[in-house]
Amino acid sequence: MAPTIKDIAKLANVSHTTVSRALNNSPLIKEVTRKKIAEIAAQVGYVPNYNAKSLVMQRSYTIGLFFTSIAKGTSSGFFSDTIRGVNSVIDVEYNLFIRGIDDYAEYSSIHRKRFDGIILMSQSEADNKFIYHVVQQGIPIVVLNRQIDDRSIINIISNDREGAYNAGKHLIEAGHQDIAIIEGVEGFKSTQERRDGFIKALIEYNIPARNDYMISGNYDMQSGYEAMVQLLDLEKPPTAVFCSNDDMAIGAMKTVFERGLQVPNDVSIVGFDDSGFSLFANPSLTTVKRPIEKISEQGARKLLSLIKEPIENDVLISIDTEFIARESVRKLQK
């Protein structure tokens, strides 16, 4: 049905070998024959069979984009920004394959023949097993978003620690002393990094970290809501709260309003991520912009060059966050 190089060969009165070479711009082919063949190919609407090609070339023309999980724990904005970033870089000659690691019971179907390269948007330490498997299979990989100890792996992360530090600093310099933190999913590297950055700011300004001002959440709105309930129930509630992401900040704001209180007049709130709605929240949310789309673009580019030139190595790229001051923080007079 669909024309093959052999069909073209017949039409052009040459061997299929010549056709193959002509279409791949081999220097062994005379210019006139190449042109003739290209013309015929275009005319009959030839498209290469990638399965045959892959079989003989030992390449798959497939880039795998993996998440820790697609089903849960990944916020929509994060998820779609990642795909957008990668998609914008990966040429259509590649298949863009998307799955969650937790969709797999075992990894045997993930091997060299099936993936030219893998981009992992990693959120959890538990991904290490997957990474190990991929490396062992000799598949080029780029890990995004979570720092990997193995320095032979290309690693692109955002500087969450510094971002959280800036958030904390901003609150302190606005005059706040009683500052709480609502944390992300336990075990996620980002959770830890953001906590560390936040605490660094406290230490730098000699503000004691109180245990009851550190509430753990899980990055979703509901958990932010619940965490804030705990905080407002304290004998001495904080005047400001750093939420480890915007979703939880939105949830936390909800609690504040339900208590008949105001943001930022009664409680100041800072988020993290700068997700789509943070600008349109009421009040608009002061937050730390995390350049997810940039990270994934960058990651995709690195992967492509890694596939072409496998020597590259020892790369850790840290992309800076950006502090965005909006309306959810109140300046206290001292």
Partner DNA sequence: CCGTAAAATTTTAACGTGTGCATAAATTTA
Partner DNA sequence: TAAATTTATGCACACGTTAAAATTTTACGG
The CA dihedral of 64, 68, 69, 72, to the nearest 10 degrees, is -150
Binding mask 45-64 for DNA (x = CB under 7 A): -x-xx--xx-xxx-------
C-alpha distances in Å from residue 67, one per residue of 73, 80, 138: 10, 11, 19
Q: What is d(CA 134, CA 156) in angstroms, rounded to the nearest whole number?
A: 17
Could you tell me which residues come within 8 angstroms of residue 168 by beta carbon, excluding any fewer than 6 positions away? 179, 197, 198, 199, 200, 201, 202, 242
The binder of 157, among a copy of itself, DNA, none, by C-beta within 5 to 8 A per type, is none
Rank residues 9 and 141 by Cβ distance to DNA and give the closer one.
9
Torsion-angle region of 300 (φ positive above 0: left; ψ -120 to 50: alpha; else: beta): alpha
Helix (H) or strand (E) holding 322: strand 322-324
The binder of 230, among a copy of itself, DNA, none, by C-beta within 5 to 8 A per type, is none
**Minimum CB distance to a copy of itself, residue 192 (Å):** 25
Rule CB under 7 A: say whether 42 interacts with DNA.
no
Rank residues 36 and 59 by Cβ distance to a copy of itself and give the closer one.
59
**Sole binder of DNA in the list 30, 72, 99, 129 (CB under 7 A):** 30
Rule CB under 7 A: say whether 25 interacts with DNA.
no
Rule CB under 7 A: say whether 110 interacts with DNA.
no
**Minimum CB distance to a copy of itself, residue 40 (Å):** 15
The binder of 4, among DNA, a copy of itself, none, by C-beta within 5 to 8 A per type, is DNA
CB 223 within 8 A of CB 246: no
Could you tell me which residues come within 8 angstroms of residue 324 by beta carbon, excluding any fewer than 6 positions away? 274, 286, 287, 288, 289
**Minimum CB distance to a copy of itself, residue 121 (Å):** 13
Between helix 246-258 and helix 221-232 the angle, nearest 10°, is 50
Omega prior to 283 cis, within 30 of 0:
yes
**Minimum CB distance to a copy of itself, residue 28 (Å):** 26
Rule CB under 7 A: say whether 29 interacts with DNA.
yes
Could you tell me which residues come within 8 angstroms of residue 216 by beta carbon, excluding any fewer than 6 positions away? 182, 183, 186, 227
The binder of 20, among a copy of itself, DNA, none, by C-beta within 5 to 8 A per type, is DNA
**Sole binder of DNA in the list 10, 11, 18, 170 (CB under 7 A):** 18
- Kindly indicate which of the ranges 4-12, 169-177, 204-212, 319-327 contains the residues binding DNA, using the contact rule CB under 7 A: 4-12
Rule CB under 7 A: say whether 5 interacts with DNA.
yes
Between helix 76-89 and helix 292-308 the angle, nearest 10°, is 40
Burial of 147 (0-12, 13-18, 19+ CB in 10 A): middle
Residues of the shown chain interacting with a copy of itself in the complex, contacts defined by CB under 8 A: 2, 45, 47, 49-52, 54-55, 60, 62, 70-71, 74-77, 79-81, 83-84, 87-88, 92-93, 95-100, 103-104, 108-109, 111-114, 221, 225, 247, 250-251, 253-254, 257, 276-277, 279-282, 284
Rg (CA), the chain: 26
Rule CB under 7 A: say whether 283 interacts with DNA.
no
Angle 83-87-93 (CA atoms, 0-180°, nearest 5)?
Answer: 140
**Minimum CB distance to DNA, residue 306 (Å):** 20
- Kindly indicate which of the ranges 42-50, 133-141, 158-166, 291-299 contains the residues binding DNA, using the contact rule CB under 7 A: 42-50
**Minimum CB distance to DNA, residue 108 (Å):** 12
Residue 240 sits at φ, ψ, to 5 deg, of: -150, 150
Binding residues for DNA, rule: CB under 7 A, are 2, 4-6, 13-18, 20-21, 23-24, 27-30, 33, 46, 48-49, 52-53, 55-57
